[in-house]
Amino acid sequence: MSATAPWTTTKPTALLVLADGTVITGKGIGATGKVQAEVCFNTALTGYQEIMTDPSYLGQIVTFTFPHIGNIGANDEDIEDLTPAARHGAVGVVFKADITAPSSYRSAKHLDAWLKARGIIGLCGIDTRALTAWIRENGAPNAVIAHDPNGVFDIEALKAEAKAWGGLEGLDLAKVASSGQSSRFAQKPWAWNEEFGELAEADATHHVVALDYGVKRNILRLLTGLGCKVTVVPATTSAEDVLALKPDGIFLSNGPGDPAATGEYAVPVIQELIKTDIPVFGICLGHQMLGLALGAKTEKMHQGHHGANHPVKDHTTGKVEIVSMNHGFAVDSKSLPEGVEETHVSLFDGSNCGLRLKGKPVFSVQHHPEASPGPQDSHYLFRRFINLVREKKGEAALTER
Give pLDDT, residue 401: 67
Is 174-392 assigned to CATH 3.40.50.510?
Answer: no
- The pTM (predicted TM-score) of the whole model is 0.95
Structurally, at CATH architecture level, domain 4-164 sits in 3-Layer(bba) Sandwich (3.50)
Residue 27 pLDDT > 80: yes
Residue 182 has a CB neighbour count (10 Å cut-off) of 15
Q: How many residues does the chain have?
A: 401
Q: Is 147 a catalytic residue?
A: no
Residues 6+ apart with CB under 8 A from 376: none
- The pLDDT mean for the chain works out to 94
Give pLDDT, residue 2: 43
Give 145-200 pLDDT, tens digit per residue: 999 999 999 999 999 999 999 999 999 999 999 998 999 999 999 887 777 889 88
C-alpha R_g of the chain: 21
Q: Which uninterrupted H or E stretch holds 52? A: helix 48-52
Give pLDDT, residue 391: 96
- Coil, helix or strand for 266? helix
Exposure class string for 317-353: b at 16+ Cβ within 10 A, else e: eeeebbbbbbbbbbbebebbeeebeebbbbeeeebbb
Q: Is 370 a catalytic residue?
A: yes
Q: Is 353 a catalytic residue?
A: no
Give 251-279 pLDDT, tens digit per residue: 999 999 999 999 999 999 999 999 999 99
Q: How far apart are CA 165 and CA 144, in angstroms?
A: 9
Q: Under a CB-based contact definition with an 8 Å cutoff, are residues 342 and 366 in contact? A: no
- What's the mean pLDDT in 331-342? 98
Ranking 179-193, 210-224, 227-241, 294-308 by mean pLDDT, the lowest is 179-193
Give pLDDT, residue 357: 98
- What's the mean pLDDT in 104-109? 94
Q: Under a CB-based contact definition with an 8 Å cutoff, are residues 232 and 181 in contact? A: no
Residue 21 pLDDT > 50: yes
Q: How far apart are CA 392 and CA 334, in angstroms?
A: 31
Extract the runs of DSSP E, i.e. beta strands, from 126-274.
142-147, 183-185, 206-212, 228-234, 249-252
Residue 190 has a CB neighbour count (10 Å cut-off) of 16
User: How do strand 298-314 and strand 319-331 relate by DSSP bridges?
Assistant: antiparallel
**Catalytic: which of 284, 310, 321, 353?**
284
- Enumerate the H helices of 101-227 as residue ranges: 111-118, 128-138, 155-164, 174-177, 217-224
Residue 201 pLDDT > 90: no
Contacts 24+ apart (CB under 8 A), 272-278: 272/239, 273/239, 273/242, 273/243, 274/357, 274/360, 274/362, 276/243, 277/360, 277/361, 277/392, 278/247, 278/248, 278/249, 278/250, 278/361, 278/392
Give 36-67 pLDDT, tens digit per residue: 999 999 999 999 999 999 999 999 999 999 99
Sheet holding 249-252, edge to edge: 183-185, 228-234, 206-212, 249-252, 280-283, 362-365, 352-357, 340-346, 298-314, 319-331
Give 76-95 pLDDT, tens digit per residue: 999 999 886 678 999 999 99
Give 110-128 pLDDT, tens digit per residue: 999 999 999 999 999 999 9
- Domain limits, the chain: 4-164, 174-392
**Catalytic: which of 50, 80, 161, 370?**
370
Q: Under a CB-based contact definition with an 8 Å cutoff, are residues 400 and 316 in contact? A: no
Residue 6 pLDDT > 60: no
